[in-house]
Amino acid sequence: MTHLLPRNKKLLSFLTRHHPILKTLLQHPPPISHYATQSSKFPEYEMPTVTWGVIQGKKEKLVNRVKVCDHLQTLGVITDELETIELPSTLDVISERLEFLHKLGLTIDDVNEYPLMLGCSVRKNLIPVLAYLEKIGISRSKLGEFVKNYPQVLHASVVVELAPVVKFLRGLDVEKQDLGYVLMKYPELLGFKLEGTMSTSVAYLVSIGVSPRDIGPMVTQYPYLLGMRVGTMIKPLVDYLISIGLPKKIVARMLEKRAYVIGYSLEETVKPNVECLISFGVRREMLPLVIAQYPQILGLPVKAKMSTQQYFFSLKLKVDPEGFARVVEKMPQVVSLKQNVIMKPVEFLLGRGFRVEDVARMVVRCPQILCSRVELMKNGYYFYKTEMGRPMKELVEYPEYFTYGLESRIKPRYQKLQGKGIRSSLNWFLNCSDQRFEERLEGNFIDVDSEGPVFDMGGKLDMPGDGGGEVVSDEDDDESDDDEVLYRRTLTL
């Protein structure tokens, strides 16, 4: 070390003269390795080794973890699943998380359902996620319920995972005000990948004829369709419905209006229900019309409902099993009608002097009278007896009379007939459009009565007696698509 001493000899002599220890060190310097190898007399002042801090940190973390787990166990939290996640190092932090979850509405039982939520930071996870959920339409009062149903959302990144899913839903035309409803109904959507099941299910529905603009309303009504696999769930159901006679476009229109049909199990519900309908006498060629009118019948406990209603019709209405099958073909909703609702119009007819056998005939011919309001039936019947003065036999032959509006159709048309001096059947002047009725009034002939719409498998829905298979519709429509015709006539009961 002598080469480091100052060259100024005066300074050196001054230092050696006043500091004898320094003089000794300069004259006899110790070897350099002395300070590197010998230990100090005071161990607490030793220089730490490279691994000392890490070893002490691990021990400290282990001790703190044990304390935290013991604290959670005293509160009733099951800590078995917490071994794989990093927990807070202090009791204050874990207590803060538990208190936050408690204010949200979650109990210890809810935490035990998904203990991993204790690994979420209040500031980094809980607050940003919950604030975003509230922003997109989930009310603050329902946030706790949402987290109970889908606690995994607390681990999600708002920017990377949640926001892209919400943007995808908006791109499907899900209304902004419906986002909260959709996600409350099916919160797992927030965990789906955009390029996965959601995209493929939408693409397939569009490929079978579902209008892209109707995807949004379908998702709002039944968001679970975005989580259903095409190859194992959606396509087999669609293929089966087509195989029993429903045109593909009718299936598409049906799914647009009744998206929940997609959720019916093909093997456990749909096929058994179709076979059940056949076993009760519904003709195979009428199945498409039955399903198109009442798609819900595919998911109901059909066997139980059909058995109950068939027995009721036989006992109270004297309708035999074959007649009941015809009723189901014309109005499949009858399987879900309450018996007290059915009896009100029946009791009205019986009270007006119709025989039980006549009421049975009327029900088989036009089961829609079972859904008619008694007050309206009274008005129609009163006009029929006092103004028209016709025999009751005509009502037995044409019970559809009770399904028309008195002020909107029956009375104005009858008055026009009176003005022209024309005498016709009820069927002739009621069962046609306004345009056809005017044409009949202007003509010098009376064409044959129409029997109502008839559906032939694979063919048009024709109106007999209306010439050339012209479709009678309440709205002008230039489309000649056969499937659209069937849809309009069968799905608007």
With beta carbons less than 8 A apart as the criterion, state whether 16 and 23 touch. yes
Q: Is the pTM of this model over 0.95?
A: no
| Interval 153-202: pLDDT, tens | 998 999 999 999 999 999 999 999 999 999 999 999 999 888 888 899 99
- Work out the average pLDDT over 467-481: 37
| Residues with Cβ within 8 Å of residue 26, at least 6 apart in sequence | 1, 2, 5, 16
Distance CA 114, CA 78 (A): 10
> Coil, strand or helix: which one is 289?
helix
Average pLDDT over residues 462-486: 39
361 — phi, psi (to 5°)?
A: -65, -40
* Residue 268: predicted pLDDT: 95
Share of the chain above pLDDT 70, in %: 78
Answer for the pair 103, 130: CB distance below 8 angstroms, yes or no. no
Task: Report percent pLDDT > 90 for the chain.
Answer: 58
Quote the tokens at residue 41: 């007399």
Greater confidence (351 vs 89) lies with 351
DSSP H stretches of helix in 116-228:
127-135, 143-149, 163-171, 179-185, 199-207, 215-221
Calpha distance 455→458 (Å, rounded): 9
Q: Which one-letter amino acid corresponds to residue 41? A: K
pLDDT at 209 over 90: yes
Q: In whole angstroms, what is the distance from residue 101 CA to residue 104 CA?
A: 5
Average pLDDT, the chain: 82
Helix (H) or strand (E) holding 462, with range, is strand 461-462
DSSP 32: T
Whether residue 219 has pLDDT greater than 50:
yes
pLDDT digits (tens, 9 = 90+) for 145-154: 999 999 999 9
CA-based nearest residue to 169, from 185, 145, 155 = 185
pLDDT tens profile 42-74: 444 344 444 444 444 567 767 777 777 877 878
With beta carbons less than 8 A apart as the criterion, state whether 441 and 420 touch. Answer: yes
Do the Cβ atoms of 152 and 172 come closer than 8 Å?
no
Q: How confident is the model at residue 397 (pLDDT cuts 50, 70, 90)?
A: very high
CA 360, CA 339: separation in Å to the nearest integer?
Answer: 15
Contact (CB, 8 A) for 119 and 85: yes
DSSP bridge pairs for 455: 461
